[in-house]
Homo-oligomer: A and B are copies of this chain.
Amino acid sequence: MKRYQREDEISYSLGITLTFELLKYATEYCNRVYVHSKMDKGESFEKLKKLCDDANIPMEFADKPFNILSQKENCFIIGEFRKFKRPVDKNESHVVLNNPSNAGNMGTIMRSAAGFGITNLVIISPAVDEFDPKTVRASMGAIFRLNISVYPSFDEYRKQMGDRSYYPFMLKAKTSLSKLEPVKPFSLIFGNEATGLPDSFLEVGTSVIIPHSDRIDSLNLPIAASIALYEATKNDFTK
């Protein structure tokens, strides 16, 4: 057993809340669940044990994995899972992250996307590791409900997907988000935290700007993405 590395075929859910999400939504990819000796054997544990038993997932009682994998003192459950390949659905709407560089941001966007019912995530390389335990943690487990595809370039992604609504979000865009009437299936496209999307995206579909004051340069990436997700899906959830 060693520290997590990107090239590994497995990753980890650190903590009981994340591990519940893993067991519920990506059961078939879970190899085992580690239990620390300090884990309280109360109601939550019994629930977890039942989920493991029902799915024939072994529980291993050992403290060593926690020393190696977790920096947090109050982490007493770790789930080990095989990195899953569930490609995005061509007929559904997508969130597309072009060269994202921060694991926490990527996880936060996963959480918001699931929250707004968009469960297909496209990542354009180079990008931060979508299975890094830090990403998993920031997603609050939403990663286990998503289809995820990684493409080597945006052009390659577009070639595979063909005709759909592409909405790149950029400060130079002409269309205001508040005037947009998104046509499904759509792709909401966001650039890197520091550099945004290159100007070439002005020629891709309909470029969109989030109206805001000139007092700040731009919104942070998970916030911009979440506002876009809210606006693009609000008619789906409003009675």
Contact = CB atoms under 8 A, between A and B. Distances in A.
Interface of A: 108, 111-112, 114-117, 119, 140, 142, 145, 176-179, 210-213, 215-216, 219-220, 222-223, 226-227, 230-231, 233-239
Contact of A237 (B213, B219, B226, B234): B213
Given A215-B114, A223-B112, A210 B230 contact: yes
Nearest to A108: B220
A222 B213 CA distance: 18
Nearest to A179: B238
Nearest to A237: B211
B176 A238 contact: yes
A42 to B, nearest CB: 20
Contacts of A236: 211, 213
Contacts of A230: 177, 210-212, 227, 230-231
A149 B36 CA distance: 45
Contacts of A119: 215
A234 to B, nearest CB: 4
Contacts of A239: 176
Given A112-B223, A223-B223, A226-B226, A117 B234 contact: no
A116 B212 contact: yes
Given A223-B226, A227-B230, 20 more contacts: A108-B220, A108-B223, A111-B216, A112-B219, A114-B213, A114-B215, A115-B212, A115-B215, A116-B213, A117-B212, A117-B213, A119-B215, A176-B234, A177-B234, A178-B234, A210-B230, A212-B237, A213-B237, A226-B227, A230-B231
